[in-house]
Structure 1
Amino acid sequence: MGLVINHNLMAMTAARNFTRSYETLYRSTNRLSSGLRINSSADDAAGLAVSEIMRTEIAALNQGVRNAYDAQSLLQTADGALQVIDEKLIRMKELAEQAATGTYNSTQRQIMNNEFATMRSEITRIAEATRFNGVALLNGTISQYSGSANGLKIHFGPTNSAARDYYYINIGSATATALGINTLDISTQSGAQTALATIDDAVVSKDNIRADIGAYINRLSNTISQLSIQAENLQAAESRIRDVDVATEMTMFVNNQIKSQAAIAMLAQANTIPQLALTLIGG
Structure 2
Amino acid sequence: MKINNNIQALNSYRNLHQNQFNTSKNLEKLSSGLRINRASDDAAGLAISEKMRSQIRGLKMAERNAMDGISLMQTSEGAMQEVHTMLQRMRELAVQAANDTNTEYDREQIQKEIDQLKLEVDDISEKTEFNTRKLLNGFSAVLTTFDAGINPINIVGYPKVTDANIKSGNYQLEVSNVVMTEKVTQPSAGLGQGDIKFVNPNDGMKLGEYTILVREVEQNQDAKIEVLDPDGLSIGTMVIPIGSNGANNAQDVYGIQMDATKISTAGTVKVKLEAEATLKLNDVSDPANTVTIQAERKLTSNNGLFRHGGVEYQFNSNLQAASLDYTITNNALSFQIGPNTNQNVMIDIPRMDIVTLGIEDVNVLTNADANKAIFALDQAINRLSDSRSKLGAVQNRLEHTINNLQVTHENLTASESRIRDADMALEMTEFTRNNILNQSATAMLAQANQLPQGVLQLLQ
TM-score (norm 2): 0.56
Corresponding residue for 1:128? Answer: 126
Corresponding residue for 1:156? Answer: 337
Instruction: Determine the C-alpha separation between the residues in 2 that align with 1:24 and 1:229.
Output: 38
Instruction: Determine the C-alpha separation between the residues in 2 that align with 1:224 and 1:192.
Output: 47
Corresponding residue for 1:216? Answer: 394
Partner of 1:271: helix, strand, or coil?
A: helix
Corresponding residue for 1:191? Answer: 369
Q: Please report how far the alpha carbon of residue 280 of structure 1 lies from its aligned counterpart in structure 2 after TM superposition.
A: 4.6
> Which segment is superposed worse, 240-249 or 223-232?
223-232
Instruction: Determine the C-alpha separation between the residues in 1 that align with 2:48 and 2:347.
Output: 35
Aligned residues with identical type, % of pairs: 42
Instruction: Determine the C-alpha separation between the residues in 2 that align with 1:230 and 1:143.
Output: 32
Instruction: Determine the C-alpha separation between the residues in 2 that align with 1:217 and 1:122.
Output: 26
Q: Larger strand proportion, structure 1 or 2?
A: 2
Structure 1 residue runs without a partner (length 5+): none
Q: Please report how far the alpha carbon of residue 52 of structure 1 lies from its aligned counterpart in structure 2 after TM superposition.
A: 1.1
Query: C-alpha deviations, 1:160-186, integer Å up to 9, x for none?
Result: 36xxx2231122332111111111112
CA contact (8 A) 1:48 1:242 kept: yes
Does 1:100 find its partner at 2:98? Answer: yes
Give, as a single letter, the amino acid of the residue that structure 1 aligns with 2:105: T
Distance 1:193 1:143, change over 3 A: closer
Q: Please report how far the alpha carbon of residue 55 of structure 1 lies from its aligned counterpart in structure 2 after TM superposition.
A: 1.1
Does 1:231 find its partner at 2:412? Answer: no
Instruction: Determine the C-alpha separation between the residues in 2 that align with 1:106 and 1:262.
Output: 112
Corresponding residue for 2:438? Answer: 260
Corresponding residue for 2:385? Answer: 207
Instruction: Determine the C-alpha separation between the residues in 2 that align with 1:150 and 1:134.
Output: 16
CA contact (8 A) 1:82 1:210 kept: yes
**RMSD between superposed Cα atoms in Å:** 2.2
Give, as a single letter, the amino acid of the residue that structure 2 aligns with 1:83: Q
Instruction: Determine the C-alpha separation between the residues in 1 that align with 2:349 and 2:401.
Output: 19
Does 1:173 find its partner at 2:351? Answer: yes
Instruction: Determine the C-alpha separation between the residues in 1 that align with 2:439 and 2:355.
Output: 87
Instruction: Determine the C-alpha separation between the residues in 2 that align with 1:106 and 1:276.
Output: 132
Instruction: Determine the C-alpha separation between the residues in 1 that align with 2:376 and 2:141.
Output: 27
Structure 2 residue runs without a partner (length 5+): 143-164, 169-329
Task: State the structure with bigger RCO (CA 8 A, min sep 6), 1 or 2.
Answer: 1
Q: Please report how far the alpha carbon of residue 31 of structure 1 lies from its aligned counterpart in structure 2 after TM superposition.
A: 0.7
Corresponding residue for 2:41? Answer: 43
Distance 1:119 1:77, change over 3 A: same
Equivalent in 79, 82, 85 of residue 81 of structure 1:
79
Give, as a single letter, the amino acid of the residue that structure 2 aligns with 1:35: G
Count, aligned residues: 277
Corresponding residue for 2:187? Answer: none
CA contact (8 A) 2:66 2:402 kept: yes
Give, as a single letter, the amino acid of the residue that structure 1 aligns with 2:336: H
CA contact (8 A) 2:141 2:351 kept: no
Partner of 2:352: helix, strand, or coil?
A: coil
Q: Larger helix proportion, structure 1 or 2?
A: 1
Q: Please report how far the alpha carbon of residue 15 of structure 1 lies from its aligned counterpart in structure 2 after TM superposition.
A: 1.5
The runs of at least 4 aligned residues of structure 1 exceeding 6 Å deviation read none
Partner of 1:184: helix, strand, or coil?
A: coil
CA contact (8 A) 1:150 1:169 kept: no
Give, as a single letter, the amino acid of the residue that structure 2 aligns with 1:166: N
Q: Please report how far the alpha carbon of residue 210 of structure 1 lies from its aligned counterpart in structure 2 after TM superposition.
A: 0.8
Q: Please report how far the alpha carbon of residue 43 of structure 1 lies from its aligned counterpart in structure 2 after TM superposition.
A: 0.8
Instruction: Determine the C-alpha separation between the residues in 2 that align with 1:150 and 1:160.
Output: 19
CA contact (8 A) 1:135 1:142 kept: no
